[in-house]
Structure 1
């Protein structure tokens, strides 16, 4: 009998998840189908109940439901608890278990695309929202030398500082202007905000005028493939990483949680790039 997998979000019409997961199922000969379910915020509980009632094998969860679904699950793994959000649900014989693959997917993309070890690196995180927390949690679990945060609202970085303290990794919050004036002390700079996303192509979250050549500059955004932030970094000798790798890797990790099979990441990436015209 064909298994059913899905995506819970609102809206979901733009999602590429059905394309990449259904292609992976087909290529691996797995009898399964992935659907995108548009779930209104007030119906999250009913959607989770439907996973049980319809015996849906697993789901991805996207905005705005990553936090809301947590109270309706039977179990949440440690990493997802630290992040405070779930993006993957596994139905294990009626028991719904929540995971978060976003941060791990991102860190893997950073390692793959830069071919550099980051354990001793000094890192600057731009932003302090949900995306930042997922990335920071994964970086701290992996192990880095130092991590600093800059955000429009400085107070919002307090929880990230506390998280770094739990891992005994040195951290600090810096004003944007201070960060811009001391860019040469960072080995990796990561934008976790939506600044520069389509259609605001000309916006950038930080001036990179003082960027040192060889710095890894990463943007979670993948539309456009090369944001203004990444263009400036490239012009100044930075090593740039866009959000495609994270998108693909988090999907592949979800697939592994559901099937215990590793899909072809390169094929997933090819599909995403085709859809984006890259």
Structure 2
């Protein structure tokens, strides 16, 4: 009998997860199908009850439900509790178990595609939202030396740095504002620069970026969580300055791969999933 997986969000039509997962399921000849489900906020609880009644194996969770869904789960993983958000749920023995594979996906991309282990390194992280939290937690658990959170609302960055500093003792956390003077100084110290904000998306030009070409160095690894487009203005600027760059499709790929393992118990065909993502993104360019 066919088993069902899916993703919930609002909106949901932009998601690449169905393309990626169905390619993997087909390659491994598993009798599953992965479907997108648009769920409105007032129907979230009922949707999860319905999924459980239908014995749907698991679903990914995207905006705007990564925090709200936590109220309806029976169990939450340690990483998800630290991050304070869920992106993967699994129905096991009649109970919903929540995970967050975003940070794991980011770290695997950093190591395998970026050739960099964060242990002992200084990281400058742009943003203090959900994606930034996942990245900061995983970098902290991986013993990065220092994580500096740069956010337009400085107080939000300070709150996140204080919270994570109280939970993860192996890493130093602090916050700065998103001002040219502060960014310039922090870029001098950082080895890894991670953008977890919309800055750098297609609608923004290099001239509009709050960064200057001369601030980048060849020893920087600049990581973008955005994957539309594959080469953002931020990555183009960093590359032109001689820095190494890492685009966002790797995090998407590896967080999906981790969810796939949770649901099926199998190692997914990574390169099949990667090709499915890249083929779709190239069509959109």
Whether these two folds match at TM > 0.5 is yes
CA root-mean-square deviation = 1.4
Distance apart, 1:83 and its partner CA:
0.7
Partner of 2:252: 247
Match of 2:203 in 1: 199
Please tell me whether the aligned partners of residues 202 and 233 of structure 2 are also in contact (alpha carbons under 8 angstroms).
no
Cα separation, partners in 2 of 1:207 and 1:41, compared to 1, 3 Å: farther
The offset of 1:78, in angstroms, is: 1.1
- State the partner residue of 2:40: 40
Aligned to 2:66: 66
Deviation at 1:165, TM superposition (A): 3.6
What is the CA–CA distance in structure 2 between the aligned matches of 1:7 and 1:167, rounded to whole Å?
A: 30
Looking at structure 2, the residues matched to 73 and 8 of structure 1 have their Cα atoms a distance apart, in angstroms, of: 15
Q: What secondary structure is seen at the aligned counterpart in 2 of 1:174?
A: strand
Secondary structure at the counterpart of residue 214 of structure 2: coil
Q: Which piece of structure 1 moves more, 177-186 or 45-54?
A: 177-186
Verify the 8 A CA contact 1:17 1:251 in the aligned structure 2. yes
The question of 1:212 aligning with 2:213 is answered: no
Gaps of 5+ in 2: none
Q: Distance in 2 between matches of 1:54 and 1:247?
A: 27
The 2-side partners of 1:198 and 1:68 are apart by: 29
Aligned to 2:117: 117
**163-172 or 130-139, larger mean C-alpha shift:** 163-172
Change over 3 Å in CA distance of 1:96–1:205 after alignment to 2 = farther
Tell me if the contact between 1:89 and 1:97 (Cα under 8 Å) persists in the aligned partners.
yes
The alpha-carbon deviation at position 130 of structure 1 amounts to 0.9
Paired with 1:31 and 1:106, the residues of 2 have a C-alpha distance of 29
Match of 1:258 in 2: 263
Q: Any stretches of 5+ residues in structure 1 without a counterpart?
A: none
Cα shift readout 1:241-275 (whole Å, capped 9, x = no counterpart): 01010010001000001011111111111111110
- Over residues 49-91 of structure 1, what are the superposed CA-to-partner deviations in whole Å (9 max), with x where a residue is unaligned? 1111111010000001111111011111111111111100100
Equivalence for 1:15: 15
Please give the secondary structure, in 1, of the residue aligned with 2:59.
Answer: strand
- Does residue 196 of structure 2 align to residue 187 of structure 1? no
How many pairs were matched up? Answer: 278
Q: Distance in 2 between matches of 1:119 and 1:22?
A: 35
**Please, which moves more after superposition, 100-109 or 13-22?**
13-22
User: Does residue 174 in structure 1 map to residue 176 in structure 2?
Assistant: yes
Matches within 5 A, 1:6-155: 6-155=6-155
* SS, match of residue 261 in structure 1: coil
